[in-house]
Amino acid sequence: MDFLIFLIVALPLAGFLELLFFGKRIGEPGAGYVASATVGISFVLALIAGFDFLQGGEHGRTVELFAWIPSLGLNATFLWDPLSAMMTLVVTGVGALIHIYSIGYMHGDPGFGRFFTYMNLFITSMLLLVLGANFGILFVGWELVGLSSYLLISFWFEKPSAAAAGKKAFVVNRIGDFGFLIALMLIFNSFGSLDYGSVFEGAEATLTAGTATAIALLLLVGAAGKSAQLPLYVWLPDAMEGPTPVSALIHAATMVTAGVYMVARTGALFELSSVAGAVVTTVGALTAFYAATIAIGQRDIKRVLAYSTISQLGYMFMGVGALALVGGVFHLVTHAFFKALLFLGAGSVIHAMAGEQDMGKMGGLRKKVPVTFATMVIAWIAISGIPPFAGFWSKDEILASVFNRGGGYIVLWAVGIVTAGLTAFYMSRMMFLTFWGEPRWDDGVVPHESPRSMTVPLLALAGLSAVGGLINTPWRPALEHFLEPSFELVDQTHLPEAGVQVALAAVSIAAGVIGLLVAYRRYVSRATQLEEGGRWDTLLAGYHVDDLYGRTIVAPGKAAADVMAFTADAKLVDGAVNGMGGLVNWAGRILSKLQTGMVRSYGLGILGGVVGVVVWLLVAGGGF
């Protein structure tokens, strides 16, 4: 069993190493097969290893590989419990599908081997993140997924915008990591350990409310970076520079959910601070609403999905922040299905349109790419919160739990409902502009359906998006039951009573339907074209937040560095040194006869001096 769990990580790692050294030689399509196979087998192994958890009550095990930093008590240890098993299944399952899809999508790219090398590195890193049994391994995975993300966003590095986007993603994430690191310092300072077991079990007895709040909020800073929440979300829209399968896997289904996973995993710490929980929920709600408004105004199909991802991650934060840990994690799972599908579908559309991403140049694609269209419709309904598709169940569980907390949380619930309406609207807008109406294609574009390697993963994800929500329904909460052992230390928020639940569900379904209908009237009945000008431009530019950050943080920061480097350092500090030197030099003119200007003769003089001292010591000491 332990070996099985080890293999789950070791296989993608072996794939990565093989491709790193022999990827060029293996070439296309072999590299894709190696990568897909390793991830696929990991998925199967995870299914086998996770089977015991289905009976319920099983707490899982830790698998210790070797001592890593012994004096910090940090070992390379995996924790195989229901939560990590579930995450592993999502990562390897969705990962394998996207790997297979990529074999078709990346066909003919000169970097084919390199692409799959990075993809396997990502899977390995993400598995470390979710399987680590302590904050150390979590952080290793956390940083390595950041590295993979950097490499994959700037995959087409000849493109300056892609290279810049990769760097931006890494740097913004590092700002989040700054918070994460301080949280780790505080945790180590309080517990003398970074082991999940010691920390979570000792938390209540050890931490004061203040320390717990500080730790939780600092962890949130890290989570907000990785999961693209306000105010650190700015890297994610730019991350769309990466190949579309990357956006699907890393920037929708898995890596960006790491922050949600982290909050859920550390629920025992968040539970101790009602302030931190409220902050997380508020950040989530605000991000969900804010990003949804921006998504409305996007023209690039991938950017719609990027802002949509930020928004949906906001829902997950609302869930875990309100201590509806199961709800948050549940939405993580369903979102992985339908958002991966939307991205892969968008990739298929882009593929069909010969690289075009501007929805202004799409339209009328229904008949041209029927499989892509049909599968995307399922994802569209799922994200819009229409039952019985996947998104409805998870989003509703979150919103109902938030409502049930009462007080100020009811306001956040309302924000969530409004966002649900906006979600249905922008997603419908995207679908209508892409698939309905008259073609607005550029000359010479002949849309065609994608190859089987791409459509089969679409169909698989469509199936999951349709029925995936049924793993946790109010009358059969299988996922909740499954995850119970992982969350037993946390007193979770419960769902309201049945009648209230039905009423709340009705409200959120209504919001979704209204969003759909408004979009239908606007983009189908009246055949509205893509909007331009005025407020639409502001939305398109994401409220110009990038400019704002540029003007208020980047530019002043660089100016400060310039002052430090070229004024303070060169003139003041070094000037003082040279000034002293000048003084000495002036005095030294008296001895100027010795200055021959030859470096070598100075050197010989010094050498002679040192030798002289040694010789004197030898002689004075009686020699050998």
| Residue ranges in 196-235 that form contacts with other proteins under rule CB under 8 A | 197-199, 201-202, 205-206
Minimum distance from residue 425 beta carbon to other proteins (Å): 37
> Which among 4-12, 64-72, 244-252, 364-372 is the span making contact with other proteins, rule CB under 8 A?
64-72
Minimum distance from residue 465 beta carbon to other proteins (Å): 34
Q: Which is nearer to other proteins, 233 or 389 (CB)?
A: 233
The reply to whether 22 sits near other proteins by the rule CB under 8 A is no
Report the residue from 37, 147, 374, 517 that binds other proteins according to the rule CB under 8 A.
Answer: 147
**Tokens read off for 164:** 């810049």
Contact 352, 448 (CB under 8 A): yes
The reply to whether 583 sits near other proteins by the rule CB under 8 A is no
Amino acid residing at 609: G
Contacting other proteins within 587-616 (CB under 8 A): 599-600, 602-603, 606-607, 610, 613-614
Q: Which residue(s) pair with 69 in the sheet?
A: 74
Distance (Å, whole) CA 127 – CA 91: 7
Contacting other proteins within 84-123 (CB under 8 A): none
Q: Which residue(s) pair with 134 in the sheet?
A: 195
Q: Which is nearer to other proteins, 213 or 312 (CB)?
A: 213
Q: Which is nearer to other proteins, 275 or 613 (CB)?
A: 613
Report the residue from 159, 448, 452, 544 that binds other proteins according to the rule CB under 8 A.
Answer: 159
Cα dihedral: 250, 254, 257, 262 (round 10): -120
The secondary element (H helix, E strand) that includes residue 199 is helix 196-206
Contacting other proteins within 37-56 (CB under 8 A): none
Q: Say how many residues touch other proteins, by CB under 8 A.
A: 77
Look up residue 156 and give its DSSP letter: S
> Which among 157-165, 269-277, 323-331, 380-388 is the span making contact with other proteins, rule CB under 8 A?
157-165
Distance (Å, whole) CA 292 – CA 487: 31
Q: Which is nearer to other proteins, 478 or 577 (CB)?
A: 577
The reply to whether 33 sits near other proteins by the rule CB under 8 A is no
Report the residue from 72, 459, 507, 510 that binds other proteins according to the rule CB under 8 A.
Answer: 72
Q: Which is nearer to other proteins, 475 or 624 (CB)?
A: 624
Contact 207, 215 (CB under 8 A): yes
Look up residue 159 and give its DSSP letter: S
Contact 356, 445 (CB under 8 A): yes
Q: Which residue(s) pair with 79 in the sheet?
A: 62
Contacting other proteins within 524-563 (CB under 8 A): 558, 560-562
Report the residue from 275, 565, 583, 615 that binds other proteins according to the rule CB under 8 A.
Answer: 565
Distance (Å, whole) CA 73 – CA 68: 8
The reply to whether 3 sits near other proteins by the rule CB under 8 A is no
Report the residue from 502, 574, 582, 615 that binds other proteins according to the rule CB under 8 A.
Answer: 574
Q: Which is nearer to other proteins, 388 or 575 (CB)?
A: 575
Minimum distance from residue 49 beta carbon to other proteins (Å): 24
Contact 22, 14 (CB under 8 A): no
Closest-CA residue to 473 (of 388, 554, 551): 388
> Which among 138-146, 393-401, 486-494, 519-527 is the span making contact with other proteins, rule CB under 8 A?
138-146
Minimum distance from residue 196 beta carbon to other proteins (Å): 10
- Helix, coil or strand: residue 532: coil
Could you give the residue ranges of the DSSP H alpha helices within 132-159?
A: 135-153
Q: Which is nearer to other proteins, 142 or 290 (CB)?
A: 142
Q: Which is nearer to other proteins, 174 or 481 (CB)?
A: 174
Minimum distance from residue 289 beta carbon to other proteins (Å): 29
Distance (Å, whole) CA 180 – CA 565: 29
Minimum distance from residue 37 beta carbon to other proteins (Å): 24
The reply to whether 160 sits near other proteins by the rule CB under 8 A is yes
**Tokens read off for 142:** 């956390």
The reply to whether 564 sits near other proteins by the rule CB under 8 A is yes
Distance (Å, whole) CA 22 – CA 182: 40
The reply to whether 444 sits near other proteins by the rule CB under 8 A is no
Report the residue from 58, 195, 241, 397 that binds other proteins according to the rule CB under 8 A.
Answer: 195
Minimum distance from residue 34 beta carbon to other proteins (Å): 19
Look up residue 360 and give its DSSP letter: G
Distance (Å, whole) CA 294 – CA 169: 19
Contact 221, 92 (CB under 8 A): no
Rg of the chain (C-alpha set)? 28
Amino acid residing at 291: A
Minimum distance from residue 323 beta carbon to other proteins (Å): 22
- 47-50, Cβ contacts within 8 angstroms, sequence gap of 24 or more: 47/89, 48/4, 49/1, 49/4, 49/5, 49/8, 49/80, 49/85, 50/82, 50/85, 50/86, 50/88, 50/89
Write the CA distances from 267 to 201, 215, 336, 351, integer angstroms.
Answer: 11, 12, 21, 42
Minimum distance from residue 203 beta carbon to other proteins (Å): 9
Task: Determine the angle formed by the axes of helices 301-321 and 390-404, rounding to 10 degrees.
Answer: 40
Q: Which is nearer to other proteins, 370 or 605 (CB)?
A: 605
Minimum distance from residue 63 beta carbon to other proteins (Å): 15
Entry field: residues in the chain: 624
Contacting other proteins within 172-191 (CB under 8 A): 174-175, 177-178, 181-182, 184-186, 188-191
